[in-house]
Amino acid sequence: MKKILITGGAGFIGSHVVRRFVKKYPDYHIVNLDNLTYAGNLANLKDIENEPNYEFVKADITDGELMNTLFKKFQFDGVIHLAAESHVDRSISNPMEFIHTNIIGTVNLLNAARLIWENFEGKRFYQISTDEVYGSLGATGFFYEHTAYDPRSPYSASKASADHLVGAYYHTFGLPSVISNCSNNYGSFQFPEKLIPLVINNIKYSKQIPVYGKGENIRDWLFVEDHAAAIDLIFHKGITGETYNIGGHNEWKNIDLIKLLCKIMDRKLERTAGTSEKLISFVKDRAGHDLRYAIDSHKIQNALGWKPSLKFEEGLEKTVEWYLTHEAWMNDVTTGDYQKYYDKQYGKR
């Protein structure tokens, strides 16, 4: 039996990765380590919580001693590290939390692995990272695995720093690691501070849709289950010391994506065509807002045979349907501190 540590498994992407591994690998013991911040939610894993090969541990990766103790106790064979502060806007209002969790937290895990793994045979430390470490593109071009890091927000700088530390532990100590850098994910269980679930929820309640700047920024969207499939492949077949870019070859200007969502929502909610678009409200731009991200994912496609499974329109339709049919989940995550966050970020609208 393999013991696999997945950090941040109660979050958006982590919950999809945990579910995939628990279901697909009954002979693995999957330990989901998460300290359940505002973004972590055990309801995301309700369907697999009683599986015999699944275990949840509530713990904070910024506690180095605790990480050493847990590594000693469980004797993990592999680590898939997703735990992070993940929202760019929050990193602008509170950078220190990102420094602690994303940098110190990652180093604590690297130190624990280095300390406890007596030899590195058969071991793997997999760092889940983002395309935002590469900075911002102009109208053309792509991010490649060899593109130099040029992070521009406290979030992306903290992720870049963590990636460099993973690379440093590989080169200096031989700690067997692999890194992937993925583009924007969408799908079920995403916290509605992120664009797509926020827009769906606002339209549902006829609240204004906040579009930063002119809505001309471009993101490359990927269905979250396709990201989980890529993570599975890289964890098992990726080459130690290498980096893999993951993306959907699916660029959308924010305003075009929002208009598409408006159309889908009008149809699903049986509202007159054009109703939702009237909610669009152009607001103050995000500070340092990166213009465009676009991933070249030929390496993972050619080397590991991965490709996105869903067309975007199909995935978006599925996603809208999921949020509309999971009202209790949405109500649950938008009570408490969410409203406070929302009012601070957008003002009362």
List residues binding ligand NAD (CB under 6 A).
Answer: 8, 10-14, 34-37, 39-40, 60-62, 82-86, 101, 105, 128, 130, 159, 182, 184-185, 191
**Closest to 87 (Cα-Cα) out of 191, 206, 6, 180:** 191
DSSP calls for 201-267: HHHHTT--EEEETTS--EEEEEEHHHHHHHHHHHHHHPPTT-EEEE--S-EEEHHHHHHHHHHHHHH
10 Å CB burial of residue 43 (0-12, 13-18, 19+) is: middle
Q: Convert residues 167-186 into a mask of x (bound to ligand DAU by CB under 6 A) and - (unbound).
A: ----------------xx--
Q: Per the structure block, which two tokens stand in for 95? A: 């950078």
Q: Is 132 in the site for ligand DAU (CB under 6 A)?
A: yes
CB of 221 to ligand NAD, least distance (A): 9
Which of the listed partners (ligand NAD, ligand DAU, none) does 198 bind, with a CB threshold of 5 to 8 Å by partner kind? ligand DAU
Which of the listed partners (ligand DAU, ligand NAD, none) does 293 bind, with a CB threshold of 5 to 8 Å by partner kind? ligand DAU
CB of 69 to ligand NAD, least distance (A): 15
Q: Convert residues 183-222 into a mask of x (bound to ligand DAU by CB under 6 A) and - (unbound).
A: xx---------xx--x-----------xxx----x-x---
The helix/strand/coil state of 122 is coil
Residue at shortest CB range from ligand NAD:
11
CB of 128 to ligand NAD, least distance (A): 5
Detail the DSSP E strand segments found in the chain. 2-7, 28-34, 54-58, 78-81, 124-130, 177-182, 184-186, 209-212, 218-223, 243-246, 251-253, 280-283
Our answer to whether residue 132 is catalytic in this structure is: yes
286 — phi, psi (to 5°)?
A: -65, 135
Enumerate the active-site residues: 131-132, 155
> Interface with ligand DAU by CB under 6 A: which residues?
86-88, 130-132, 183-184, 194-195, 198, 210-212, 217, 219, 254, 286, 293
